[in-house]
Structure 1
Amino acid sequence: MMEKRIVGFGQKATFILKPKLYWGVASEIEESQLLNSAVLNTDSFFEQDLEGVTKATISLNGNAEDGYSFKIESQQ
């Protein structure tokens, strides 16, 4: 979500979006419900920059006891 709180008369709000994906682990997700209703099982998200990427393979590693992590296996 992006916002600009104050835009004066005759001014423009300019937003520059960076192509990124954020990966995380969650439980209790219900189809067609907002993700904020899910229980996130992570303190931080894995960030993947998509600038110039046309194809990527991401793996989810680990287990419930030791925790999970994401890894970029390949990227073109």
Structure 2
Amino acid sequence: MAALNTALPDIARDVHATSVQMTWIIDGYTLILAALLLPAGAVGDRFGRRGILMLGLVIFGIASLAAVWVQTPVN
């Protein structure tokens, strides 16, 4: 969350986002994190924490790379 808050001014400038859109970017990140936290823990307990952590890091990395091509907040 700290990285997102640090990057907010750059994100707003680069994608020309309004304050309402920036609020939704923050809320979307927080809601997804909260919704997936418990299920991810249960999956990690069942299939192994290290493997699930690595899968999560790969998915996060791919999503972060995909964010490079975002032109507007609604892409």
Structure 2 length-normalised TM: 0.23
Which entry has the higher C-alpha Rg, 1 or 2?
Answer: 1
- Judging by fraction of residues, say which structure has more strand: 1
Structure 1 length-normalised TM: 0.23
- Judging by fraction of residues, say which structure has more helix: 2
Greater length-normalized contact order (CA 8 Å, ≥ 6 residues apart): 2
